[in-house]
Each structure stands twice: as C-alpha cells, then as structure tokens.
Amino acid sequence: MNETHLAALWSQLGPDARRRARIETRLFEWLDASETSLAGEWLDLLKVEPVRGLALAAAGALSLGLMTPVGWIMALVLG
Amino acid sequence: MIASAVTATPFPAPWPSSLLKALSTLFGADLEPLDEPAVLELIEQARAGDRAARQRLYRQHVNRVFRTVRGLLRTDAEAEDVTQDAMFTALTSLGRYSPRSGTPFAAWLTTIAVNTARRRFRRRRPELTATGELPDVPAVDTDVGDDIDSARQRAALLRAVAKLEPREREIVSLRYGAELNAAEIAAQLRMEAANVRKILERVRARLGERIDALMKSTGVSA
C-alpha cells in the first residue's frame, strides 16, 4: 500500500456532515456558556422567565440575609 | 456606453463551485483549506473575540482533528467527544499559541487532540494509567447510512490500525489523520525524524497486507 492510497483510505475516517454539525452546535454552546457572566445569566433568565427569575433572586437575597447573621452567631459560639 | 456597461459587468462565478461552497459551509466545513498566514489572521481575530473567526477556525480543522483521534479511539462517538473537548481547549487557549515557536497551528491543535485522547484512556482504562498508552484492540463501528463498500474499507482500515502498537498507531494517525510530516511528528513525539520515517514505512506495508486480507475475506477490492 502506498502513501497516496493510505491517505485516501484514511480520509474516509472523517466525520459525516451530521456529526460535524452536532459537534459544532455543542462546542459553541459550551463556548458561549463559558463566556457569559453570572450577571448576564441572571438578566437572560429575567428576560425569558421574569416571574421565576424574580422569585429566585428574592430567595437568594433572603437566604443571604438570613445566613449572614447565623454565620456571625456560629462564629461567636465556636470562636 | 453599452459596450462599457457590458465590459464593466463582472463575469458570474461558475455556479457549481459556489453552490458546493455554500452547501459545504451549511454542513459545517470549509471547502478550501486556508494557508498558514490566513489561519494566523483568523487566530488574531478569534483572540479579539470574533465569533465568526472562531467558527471558521473550527470548520477548517474539525475534519483533521476527528480523523487523527479516530485512529486512536474505539468508536466514532468517542472520537466525537474528544474532538469537541480538544476544539474547546484550543479555542479557549488561543492566547497560548505562538507561531514564533515554528509549530504550525494544525500541529499545535493535533497535539491537544492526541493528549485529550490519551487522557480519555487514563480515565476509562485504569489498568493502562502507568504509561497512558492506548488499548490494543479498539472496537469498530460504522454509520448505517454509509455506502457499503466504503463502510467496509473504513472498517478494514480501523481493524488493521487497531492491531498496531500504541506508538505506531499515534504515528500513523498523525501522518494520515493530521497530515503532519515526519519532522513534525518527531517533534511532537520527541523522536528522531529518521525513526518516524522507518516506522511509517514498516507500518504502511503491514496495514496494506492486513487491509487486503480483510477486503478479500469480505469480497471487496481496496
């Protein structure tokens, strides 16, 4: 088997159009996700689902507000 | 006046080539390979955050990366995952690529792809972690939609490659999948170029014999 023949045979190992498109879609979803800031994610959520987004933001703020004094007290007790 | 208007009209490009290019781009591949300066320009644009440049870099190199790792892995699905991981790593690490080192972008990218394939085996095959080597007999899968003859040729090639030693498999994948020359393969695997050439010659003969035997057994000419 010569160089050209093996190269031609090896070219058949390439991905088909469907697989190539699938890789591209997933890859660019990952890239977009890796580059979106947390604030951007929240803004997108508010745009898509305003009620659920506000509810989640409120729950987050409430848990921060409650957990911070609990943390101080625990630190005082344990310290 | 009419004559100048006629001569000013650009001659239309032949439609089959533009149609082929459009179809190829639609299905996620660049028809014409770019030369190294054009690739470097794309890298600069991609570093500056140009999404289209990143997409073109992906489309220029996806076939090469897939073909390289396919010779190292057991299935098309694994090759798909590794291609995706490797392209992600490369596109998010473009700042680390330096053309001044003399390494072409394709060689840098295939180094990432081969390392990603090796890591996959370290995770999946713990018995091989000491050397990070690849398994001896990967399974072969084929797409249902493939033409039967080319699917058999593809399967025969994969079976023949699977019987090679791990180092031989890497060398042959880098030569025919990544289209690197002996010097580039030698630099990547830290070997002598003469040694790479010798191994390639030996492996080519062995692959030829095995593929011929497999084709004869299935009644297809290679």
- Determine whether the interchain pair B84/A26 forms a contact, defined as Cβ–Cβ distance below 8 Å: yes
Q: What total number of domains does chain A contain?
A: 1
More confident residue, B149 or B112: B112
Q: Is the pLDDT of residue B82 over 80?
A: yes
Q: Is the pLDDT of residue A16 over 80?
A: yes
A17 contacts in B (CB within 8 Å)?
Answer: 27-29
CATH numeric code, B30-132: 1.10.1740.10
Q: Is the pLDDT of residue B159 over 70?
A: yes
In this structure, is residue A25 part of a structural domain? yes
Q: Which residue range is the domain that position A43 belongs to?
A: 15-78
Q: Is the pLDDT of residue B205 over 90?
A: yes
The confidence score (pLDDT) of residue B1 equals: 43
Fold observed for domain B143-222 = Arc Repressor Mutant, subunit A (1.10.10)
Q: Which of B126, B128, B135 is nearest to B72 (CA)?
A: B135
Confidence of residue B206 (pLDDT cuts 50, 70, 90): very high
The confidence score (pLDDT) of residue B135 equals: 45
The boundaries of every CATH 1.10.10.10 domain in chain B are 143-222
A7 contacts in B (CB within 8 Å)?
Answer: 176, 179
What secondary structure does DSSP assign to B9-66, as a single string?
SPPPPPHHHHHHHHHHHHTT--SSPPPHHHHHHHHHHHHTT-HHHHHHHHHHHHHHHH
Alpha carbon distance, N-terminus to C-terminus of chain A: 77
* Average pLDDT of the segment spanning A6-32: 92
The confidence score (pLDDT) of residue A44 equals: 81
- Determine whether the interchain pair A24/B55 forms a contact, defined as Cβ–Cβ distance below 8 Å: yes
Size of interface A-B (CB pairs under 8 A): 95
In this structure, is residue A5 part of a structural domain? no
Measured between alpha carbons, how far is residue A30 from residues A79, B109, B122 in Å? Answer: 44, 18, 24
Query: Quick check: B95 contacting A, CB < 8 Å?
Result: no
pTM of the model: 0.71
In this structure, is residue A57 part of a structural domain? yes
In this structure, is residue A8 part of a structural domain? no
Widest CA span of chain B, in angstroms? 81
Pick A10's closest partner by Cβ from B27, B76, B157. B157
Structure tokens at B53: 């440049």
Query: Quick check: B55 contacting A, CB < 8 Å?
Result: yes
Query: Quick check: B83 contacting A, CB < 8 Å?
Result: yes
In this structure, is residue A20 part of a structural domain? yes
Cβ-proximal residues to B206 (8 Å cutoff; 6+ apart), any chain? B160, B164
Task: Give the residue on B whose Cα is nearest the Cα of A3.
Answer: B204
DSSP character for B176? I
DSSP character for B181? -
More confident residue, A75 or B148: A75
- Determine whether the interchain pair B80/A21 forms a contact, defined as Cβ–Cβ distance below 8 Å: no
A5 contacts in B (CB within 8 Å)?
Answer: 208, 222
